[in-house]
Amino acid sequence: MFEATQLNEQNRRVQSLVRILLLLMTVLLILPVIAILAVMVVKGGPVITLDFLLTEPTEGMTAGGILPALVGTIWLVSVALLASVPVGVAAAVYLSEYAPDNWLTRAIQLAIINLAGVPSIVHALFGLGAFVLFFKLGTSILAASFTLAIMTLPVVIVSTRESLQAVPRAFREACWNMGATRWQTIRHIVLPNSISGILTGVILEVSRTAGETAPIMFTGAAFFLPFLPQSVFDQTMALSLHLFVISTQVPGVLEGMPYGVALVLVVLVLTMNAASIAFRMSLRRRKKW
Amino acid sequence: MDRRDRHWYVDKIVAVLVFLGGVSAILFIIGIFVFVTREGLGFITTRLSLAEFFGSTAWRPTSNAHPTYGALALIVGTASVTGLAMLVSVPFSLGAALYISEFSHGRVAEILKILVELLAAIPSVVWGFIGLSIVNPLIIRVFDVPVGLCVLNAGVILGLMAAPIMTTLAEDALKAVPDAYREAAEALGATRWQIATRVVLPAAKNGLVAAVLLGVGRGFGETMAVLMASGHAINLPTSPFDSVRALTATIAAELGETAVGSEHYRALFTLGILLFVVTFSINLAADVMVRGVRRKA
């Protein structure tokens, strides 16, 4: 009575065929990238020494290290974070705790999607037109970091809003019932309960910011500078732009050098991302409610 | 003295501050449009001829005697690279999303999702470098062509870049289909594949279209990778092995060499306006698609 019919058999065959096909597609999506990363490790790995990280480029950037680019990227990322985290967290608090369901809120959401979707080179044009020229910051770390901050603002907003909304509504209601104001509730209940989620978003933003190239090309990053930046009004080198420059603009670079720079950049970005993911997962497991 | 103590005022001030934070996103997006337009406007009002801009392939902004601004080859360049990238990445992304969401669960699904998320994090300049130093010699060797920086190279690189994002978005769209739909189909004796094709895919259709649209927008606006991998030659491509030049790459490569306020400088900002308007429209369309789904559900 319960024997498999021909249709059952056929369905099962199709099923397992499709399953294998889809798995193959998934693997084909991931495998090339892993192969490429392996090539980068093989070719770039030997280049990376303490010397490489801690000395300046020499002989017209064809040899030597990457110290100014590394320091420059740290400057750019730090200033961009200082600018975007307060604004991003405020925006997320508004969207999660205050915003009514009206056209303005929808417009804000659409604007956030678009800030993330506008091409990076358009952000660069904006940074040049607004910060460098109109606000007269010149090509400086400040102008470049502001451009990066606006570009990566959606990362902070989206992840912060998610972690704020994960705090149960009952927590807030209990606090309101004690006579606390909205801000007291946010300050003492909502933010402390979501701070680690917010940090996850910030780490993610660091990794996004460190890798961007186009937005800083015309706003504050220089091809080569013989000194380290002293203040936010100086120009600076940056890892991402340095990779572009030595792989396209400078002839006769030692073969392993660009691989080394690319590897440093990738390791930096992937470590940050992996940390953010690991952090998020441990939070999910630890969650008290 | 009334009851409005310090806390009351702090509360009001914070409400205003976070409101400003929220509205800042709108201000920034308007600011981008205003400032890019401000710099490009001089070109649009005095020099721009639509017939030349959209109809001519002669992009010669640095010619002394007679500079021309035909963006057709740049538009075709961007379109061909993005088109090829989508051809490569859409089937794979949707396939991977289907596998992760419908055919795997628990640990495997979790690991695949993390891998895809990590792939999305690789910076675009690194992708460009990969195109230049790894894919380029590969294409020369495999297809026996003189130059490997071409539509194929940029398309493959862009496809690999866009795929993780599309996979993540598509997987979200599939996950948004209520489990009750799947259970109902399973109770009728449907196999997983039948559930996927007859129930889940139709229900998630709009979200999937939105995922693809956002992937297109991403490819369209990608700058560094396309600049480094496409060969950067003004060309109407006739085969995947022709070099092309993209809109974004043109701005990135030429802006540094123009004088602020010159005709060439303003022409590059005009390209920026075009990029802004197109990506804005794509994002808007994707948003409308997704919201359409929510309203029905």
The pLDDT assigned to B212 comes to 92
Q: Report CA dihedral (A42, B165, B139, A34) to the nearest 10 degrees.
A: 20
Assess if residue A209 is contained within a domain.
yes
Give the three-class secondary structure for A152.
Answer: helix
pLDDT reported for residue B3 = 65
- Structural domain span for residue A198: 64-286
Q: Which residue is closest to A240 within chain B, CA to CA?
A: B125
Amino acid at B8: W
d(CA A115, CA A109): 10
CB B125 to CB A120 under 8 A?
Answer: no
Contacts of B252 in chain A (CB under 8 A): 121, 124, 214, 217
State residue A255's pLDDT score. 81
pLDDT in tens, B196-247: 889 999 999 888 999 999 999 988 889 999 999 998 888 888 888 888 999 9
More confident residue, B290 or B179: B179
For residue A55, name the pLDDT band (cuts at 50, 70, 90): confident
**pLDDT band at residue B8 under the 50/70/90 scheme:** confident
**Confidence (pLDDT) at A142:** 93
Q: Please state the domain count of chain A.
A: 1
Task: Report phi then psi at A30, rounded to 5.
Answer: -95, -35
Rounded alpha-carbon distances, angstroms, from residue B295 to A103, A110, B253, B272, B287: 15, 17, 44, 34, 12
How many CA within 13 A on the CB side of residue A252? Answer: 6
Phi, psi (deg, nearest 5) at residue A262 = -60, -40
In chain A, what is the straight-line distance between the N-terminal and C-terminal CA atoms, in Å? 49
- CB B88, CB B166: distance < 8 Å: no
pLDDT band at A9 (very low <50, low <70, confident <90, very high): confident
Whether the pLDDT of residue A288 is over 80: the answer is no
Tell me the two tokens of residue A274: 């992996």
Cα B40 to Cα B264: distance, rounded to the nearest angstrom: 10
Distance from CA of B64 to the nearest CA of A (A): 24
Q: What is the mean pLDDT of residues A119-125?
A: 93
- Separation in Å, CA of A9 to nearest CA in chain B: 11
Which of B99, B138, B269 best tests the A interface by mutation, with the highest count of A CBs <10 A?
A: B99
% of chain A exceeding 90 in pLDDT: 36
Mutate to test the interface with A, among B122, B138, B216, B250 (most CBs of A within 10 A): B122
Do the beta carbons of residue B81 and residue B151 sit within 8 Å?
Answer: yes
pLDDT computed for residue A124 by the predictor: 93
Give the best residue of B6, B125, B158 to mutate against chain A (max A CB count within 10 A). B125
- Distance, in Å, from the CA atom of B224 to the CA atom of A241, rounded to the nearest integer, reads 10
Express as a percent the part of chain A with pLDDT over 70.
99
Which positions in chain A touch B125 (Cβ < 8 Å)?
211, 213, 240-241, 243-244, 265
Secondary structure class of A190 (helix, strand, coil): helix
Buried b (16+ CB within 10 A) or exposed e, A275-289: ebbebbeebeeeeee
Question: What does the pLDDT read at residue A76?
Answer: 93
Other C-beta atoms within 10 Å of A8: how many?
Answer: 12
- Provide the CB-side half-sphere exposure for B157 (13 A, CA): 36
How do residues B122-141 score in pLDDT, each as one tens digit?
999 999 999 998 999 999 99
Tell me the pLDDT tens digit for each residue of A90-113.
999 999 989 888 889 999 999 999
* Cα–Cα distances in angstroms (integers) from residue A86 to residues A62, A203, A212, in the given order: 40, 14, 21
The C-alpha atoms of residue A114 and residue B285 are separated, in whole angstroms, by 11
SS3 A224: coil
Nearest residue of A to residue B281, measured between CA atoms: A114
Which of A181-195, B24-38, B249-263 is modeled with the greatest confidence?
B24-38
Establish if B266 touches chain A: CB-CB under 8 angstroms: no
The token pair at B35 is 């400032």
Q: What value does the mean pLDDT take over residues A111-135? A: 92
pLDDT for position A227:
80
- Provide the 8-state DSSP code for A102: S
- CA dist A203 and A195 (Å) reads 12
Tell me, what's the pLDDT at B70? Answer: 87
Who among B32, B99, B256 is closest to A26 (CB)?
Answer: B99
Instruction: Report the pLDDT value the prediction gives residue B235, as an integer from 0 to 100.
Output: 85
Higher pLDDT residue, A153 or A279? A153
Q: What CATH code is carried by the domain that includes residue A226?
A: 1.10.3720.10
Write the DSSP symbol of residue B231.
B
Q: Residues 6 or more apart from B1 whose CB is under 8 A from it?
A: none
Q: What is the CA radius of gyration of chain A?
A: 24
* Complex prediction ipTM: 0.89
Is residue B39 less than 8 Å (CB to CB) from chain A? Answer: yes
Whether residue B137 contacts residue B148, with contact meaning beta carbons closer than 8 Å, is answered with: yes
Scan residues 170-189 of B and list those with Cβ closer than 8 Å to A: none
What pLDDT band is residue B26 in, cutting at 50, 70 and 90? very high
Compute the distance between CA of residue B288 and CA of residue B294 in angstroms, rounded to an integer.
Answer: 10
The Cβ-side half-sphere exposure at B296, using a 13 Å CA radius, reads: 14
Residue B292 vs residues B207, B286, B297: alpha-carbon distances, Å: 9, 10, 9
Assigned token pair, A106 = 């929808």
Closest CA to A229 of A42, A40, A67: A67
Residue tagged 């001089």 (tokens): B42
Which amino acid, residue A205?
E
Question: Is A90 domain-assigned?
Answer: yes
pLDDT at A78: 93
pLDDT tens readout for residues A200-238: 888 888 988 999 999 999 998 888 887 888 888 888 899
The per-residue pLDDT for range A33-46, each reduced to its tens digit, is 888 889 889 998 88
What digits encode the pLDDT tens for the residues A146-169?
999 999 999 999 999 988 988 888
SS3 content of chain A, % helix, strand, coil (to 5): 75, 0, 20
Q: Which CATH class is domain B68-296?
A: mainly alpha
- Mean pLDDT of all residues in B52-61: 86
- What's the CA angle centered on A230, arms A227 and A231, to 5 degrees? 140
Task: Indicate the angle between helix axes B247-254 and B263-296, nearest 10 degrees.
Answer: 140
Residue type, B162: A
How far is Cα of residue B170 from the mean position of the Cα atoms in its chain?
Answer: 15
Q: Between these two residues, B179 and B291, which has the higher pLDDT value?
A: B179
pLDDT above 70: residue B2: no
- Say what the pLDDT of residue B82 is: 94
Q: How many CB pairs below 8 A link A and B?
A: 270
Question: Which of A108, A124, A273 is the closest to B118 by Cβ?
Answer: A273
Residue range A68-93, pLDDT digits in tens: 889 999 999 999 999 999 999 999 99
Average pLDDT of chain B? 88
The answer to whether residue B294 scores a pLDDT higher than 60 is no
Question: What are the structure tokens assigned to B222, written together?
Answer: 């990608």
The 10 Å CB-count burial string (b at 16+, else e) for B176-211 is ebeeeebeebeeeebbbbbbbeebbbebbebbbbbb
Q: Is residue A36 part of a domain?
A: no
